[in-house]
Structure 1
Amino acid sequence: MQVRDFKTVAELREAFPSAFLTNGTVDLSRKRGIRTLPRDMTVERHLILVNIFLALKDEDFSG
């Protein structure tokens, strides 16, 4: 999977439709290919980010 910067929740829904549960919870656990999440991650119920694998570059850690 290509690493992406997600600007909207709609983009996340398109890339990871199974993460959007019918009860309004968004479970991004163990998803790969996410470099950044949208600034506004407001969801109806719960946002779960357990073991999310964010793709970081070396320059992300440089001062």
Structure 2
Amino acid sequence: MRISIDTDVCIGAGQCALVSPAVFTQDDDGFSTLVPGHEDGAGGSLVREAARACPVQAIAVRE
């Protein structure tokens, strides 16, 4: 699984970090980023749920 965050679309709502805090966090400016070491998407169903929870669909999950 590969995760990408479109930083041009992200509004920093933080829903991804609330749903899957082991994979997503927020940077110093409040925008979503991946926790180092989790770029491969370890976390499965929570990662997909975090992508669905994003209000602007800034997160893409590819198998």
Higher relative contact order (CA 8 A, sep 6+): 2
**Larger strand percent:** 2
TM tier relative to shorter chain: 0.3 to 0.5
> What TM-score, normalized to structure 1?
0.33
Of the two, which has the highest radius of gyration?
1
